[in-house]
Amino acid sequence: MRASRAFIKMLEEYGVSHVFGLPGETALPLYSDMRKSSLKHVMARDERNAAIMADGYARTTWRPGVVELPGVGASMALPGLLEARASGVPVIAVVSDVPLGSERSNTLTEYPKESMFLDAAKEVLKAESPASLPRLVRRAFRVATTGFPGPVVLVVPSDVWEGDVDEGEAYAQPRFSSFPSIRFRPSDDDISAALDLIMKSQRPVMICGQGVLFSKAWDEVEELSSLMGMPVGTTISGKGAVSDDNPLSIGVVGSRGGSSFSNSMVAGADLVFLVGTNADSVDTWDWRVPPRGGSQAVIHLDVSEANLGNMYRTDVFLMGDAKLTLRRMIELAREKGLSRKRIDVRSERLASVSSLQPAVDEGGRGVDPLLLVKALQRSLPDDWVVAVDPGVGAIYTSAFMEVRKPGRRFLYDYSIGALGFALPAGIGARLGGPRVLVITSDGSFGFNAGELETVRRLGIDLKIILINNSSFGWINAASAARYGAALTDEFAEVKYVDVARAYGLDAFLAVGNGDLDQLTSFLSSDGPALMEVRTAPENELFPPVPDWREPASRLGKRYMGV
């Protein structure tokens, strides 16, 4: 059978329903056969956005996202694949390239592909013949979904698509159609050592990263924390690993979403249990909570051998799947009769958050971001997923928007942190099933405005909040905090509601706090819709970033943290 048909047959056997990407001349046989299959091709307007759509799809379905990239624009996908690589998101990126033998011949669209992707993928493969294609497809799914998941790039020359493949070789390995595809855990001896250390501690704290969400380990987190009387915080990317209604929840920790309360709980702990987090600069406030070189004992549970114990002097290394390992910890603790007195920290956390309320009442330019988040909290059903870009949306939702039901509730891209993630990730997530709210910004919208056409063309019921502060506000806040003045000019005036309507979306405008009454109508409207929300820039209304508390006071500006 034709290689392109064999490839499609294998994707169908892997349970793939959507293929994101852009058509190119090097993939004409593939697209011709795809039109006759059950696969739904999601044509994006940019390769970067197509890769991020596959990422968003994977994060909300626990299945690898598949993206097809024309060789001419494959380099455009690098930012999306880099985020997926650092976050541990399995993406199968197929690059349709020039024919075999065209290397270094100045053929149109030809340039080295494999070396370019080495740091953006777990592995880069190239099908040198039609016969090798099925084996490499199986390898791509295995590598992407096992261990620490991540993207795999498969380069397929255009003439390979048209070659012949033995039909008997065109089979899938369904075990690797979802992730984690193979779970493993540490030995009982290592788990017992961790339990002993927890029992000896006086003030233990657990910090959960995105690995808990990928592993679907939120039930185990709640049960173990309750059994051990251990408060639980999350990283910004791990938000949702524990319900904010849990009496042991301390909220988000670190420099993006962390509060004085949550960070002080970590700083004051005598044992820190890191679960499914690489303990990066954002998660730890530049390794200040907990401090590197501090006196705390550290237990680190992670599926990645590279991240395990990478940033802290670690007492117990637990390499394995979060759900499987925590479940065994619970079993061993119960077998040994180990437990600790349960405490309640939620009331203290809520009291710290409520202390911010008087600052809100002072008013200001445009919509108050905290009031926006509180209004969303009241209006948004618990089963929606919120895809958020860096900036105002990310920092206020991570710090103040509560999770009632644990699980995958938020999509953040804070492994790398590039602008322009939320809209394409939201498209991918929505096609994966759940209702989705995108919170983007005028700065991010410049990267992907054309994808509104994708939303409209496909009839995707997506709700988009665009926060407009007429600037790269985060950069201006960072500059003001360090040097006392904004760095960049304000943007020219853009009427984003008119842009949305030009693309055929319903549009709403909020220029003051009273306009937030429209949220219910916006969220319940039929079809795709965009609400432009005008706010003050971050250098005028400093968001809750711990390092910006003192500069805001010095500059006479409001600081919205607690």
DSSP string of 13-52, one letter each residue: HTT--EEEE---GGGHHHHHHHTTSS-EEEE-SSHHHHHH
What's the CA gap between 32 and 38, in Å, rounded? 13
Mean pLDDT of 202-216: 98
Question: What are 136-160's pLDDT values in tens digits?
Answer: 999 999 999 999 999 999 999 999 9
Give domain 188-347's CATH superfamily. Answer: TPP-binding domain (3.40.50.1220)
136 Cβ neighbours under 8 A, 6+ residues apart:
125, 126, 127, 154
Strands 506-510 and 316-319: unpaired
State the average pLDDT over residues 410-416.
97
Find out whether 141 and 81 touch, Cβ atoms under 8 Å: no
Please check the confidence at residue 362 and state whether its pLDDT lies above 90.
no
- What letter would DSSP give residue 506? E
How many C-alpha atoms does 355 have within 13 Å on its Cβ side? 12
Contacts of 151 (CB under 8 A, 6+ apart): 81, 84, 85, 89, 90, 91, 92, 93, 120, 121, 122, 144
**DSSP state, residue 236:** S
pLDDT for the residue numbered 299: 98
What band does 357 get if pLDDT is binned at 50, 70 and 90? low
The span from the CA of 509 to the CA of 138, in Å, is 48
Cis amide prior to 180 (ω within 30 degrees)? yes
Q: Which two tokens stand for residue 179?
A: 């992730």
Amino acid (1-letter code) at residue 58:
A
What counts of helices (H) and strands (E) characterise the chain? 22, 20
Give the per-residue pLDDT at 67: 98
Instruction: Report the distance separating Cα 288 and Cα 480, nearest Å.
Output: 23
Q: pLDDT > 70: what percent of the chain?
A: 99
Among 33, 129, 61, which residue's Cα sits nearest to residue 411?
61
Q: Do the domains 188-347 and 3-176 match in fold?
A: yes
pLDDT beyond 70 at 363: no
User: Tell me, what's the pLDDT at 364?
Assistant: 58
When pLDDT is averaged across residues 162-174 and rounded to a whole number, the result is: 97
d(C-alpha 47, C-alpha 45), whole Å: 7
Nearest to 67 by CA among 77, 59, 75: 77
Q: What is the mean pLDDT of the chain?
A: 95
Look up residue 513 and give its two tokens. Answer: 């706090």
Pick the CATH number of 3-176 from 3.40.50.970, 3.40.50.300, 3.30.930.10, 3.20.20.100: 3.40.50.970
Tell me the per-residue pLDDT of 263-314, one tens digit each, with 9 for 90 and over. 999 999 999 999 999 999 999 999 999 999 889 999 999 999 999 999 999 9
Q: Is the dihedral of CA 468, 474, 479, 481 positive or negative?
A: positive
Question: pLDDT at position 426, please?
Answer: 98
Token pair recorded at residue 122: 């777990």
Tokens linked to 94: 């197929």
Average pLDDT value for residue range 507-526: 96
Tens of pLDDT, residue by residue over 9-51, are: 999 999 999 999 999 999 999 999 999 999 999 999 999 999 9
Q: How far is CA 461 from the centre of its chain?
A: 21
* Domain boundaries 356-559, CATH class: alpha beta
pLDDT score, position 358: 39
- Quick check: 252 pLDDT over 90? yes
Every domain of the chain and the residues it spans:
3-176, 188-347, 356-559
Cβ-Cβ contacts under 8 Å for 482 (sequence gap 6 or more): 551
